[in-house]
Structure 1
């Protein structure tokens, strides 16, 4: 996401297919809006980020704050939505791991008290022998957010009608039975 985000900021690319609506992006990307809020009916997908910890750890997440946290929270490099939230909460974090696999290895090695990552890839990693006996997922999501086709603000300004039609088409396709069936199949496949 980092390279793509910077390409959009630099004017090299016009959009990113799965961008979260978050302050770090709204200064140079446009999103489908409904009044002052993002229009979730035109989202590409809904994704959940979950909190993972070492088995036996006292660390907890209640949906608003961490308890029993002494070490940083580990997040994937460039995960702008997660970083924005952790910074707003004042939670120390480490975003040096480029993959969830590396982040889970750091968590298992006690270099953080928690890791935050995509639900389905996290579940898949928990089935791996090296993590299955050491790590677990907490039940309350860290975030459950729509992701959008984020478009460079300059491009949106130059082609507003075309971009709105594209966002409308994404919303229509997302409501179709064929797309929902395909999406469920893809999600189930990602969890295994």
Structure 2
């Protein structure tokens, strides 16, 4: 048998092996928003979610690459399969059309494998009559403001049939719009709200309403195309995320992030 003939079967066998494993060795590309969402995600440094995913991936021998982009673009890329994953996606009906989540049972995501949970709060100017009572809004004429790209907020407001405006990129800018009289209410995450309410342009001017708007878990969700090709790898990564969340090393690593 010639050297060439003997090498051909080995090359074919290596190709078969590569078709199942080489793609998985590539870094997982993960989109995040192009604006900060403290303390969870930042486009220029690692937030608590990025630290969690990096540590869990390292345990599995995987590499990850975070790519900031507009939230709408992120959804498009995941749907197309050109981006592998979204770092912190809400478990919404629209997202489930194109993204795979860790599931506890059909129709229910496994919250033990979430990258985190966040509460959103409704803010108004002090003295305003605009209100949110936990089930409905009142005295809202200009629409509810929130940062562009939050599918959890969008779907809930649509279900409530409440007018909203999500044309502005950040929570801070929406607060400025409200101060300028361009909206009566702003929805934002509670953690960032506490930070913003201490800033000079908002201190003493705005207040948080007592009833939360949402209390939702967020997940590292994958494009269905990627999950179908690497289901075992993704399942193992989700399991590692669940374990890492309570790991003392992780809890120490995220101290001070805000």
2:244 counterpart of 1:148: no
Structure 1 vs Structure 2 CA RMSD:
1.5
Q: Secondary structure at the match of 2:201?
A: helix
Q: Which residue of the partner structure matches residue 8 of structure 1?
A: 78
Q: Which runs of 5+ in 1 are unaligned?
A: none
Cα deviation, 1:140-185, whole Å, max 9, x if unaligned, reads 21111111001001111111111111101101111223434544x3
The alpha-carbon deviation at position 132 of structure 1 amounts to 1.1
TM-score, normalised with respect to structure 2 = 0.69
Q: Which residue of the partner structure matches residue 40 of structure 1?
A: 111
Q: Secondary structure at the match of 1:132?
A: coil
1:138/1:131 Cα in 2 relative to 1: closer, same or farther (>3 Å)? same
Aligned residues: 187
Q: Which residue of the partner structure matches residue 61 of structure 1?
A: 132
1:62-81 to structure 2, matched below 5 A, reads 62-81=133-152
Q: Give runs of ≥4 in structure 1 deviating > 2 Å.
A: 67-71, 175-183
Q: Which runs of 5+ in 2 are unaligned?
A: 1-70
The alpha-carbon deviation at position 10 of structure 1 amounts to 2.1
Give, in whole Å, the separation in 2 of the partners of 1:117 and 1:2.
18
Match 2:231 to one of 160, 170, 175: 160
Cα deviation, 1:74-130, whole Å, max 9, x if unaligned, reads 011111111111011101000011111210111112211110011111221111111
Match 2:186 to one of 115, 138, 141: 115
Say if 2:81 and 2:224, in contact at 8 Å, map to a contact too: no
Match 1:99 to one of 160, 170, 179: 170
TM-score, normalised with respect to structure 1 = 0.91
Give, in whole Å, the separation in 2 of the partners of 1:131 and 1:30.
39
RCO higher in 1 or 2 (8 Å CA, sep ≥ 6)?
Answer: 1
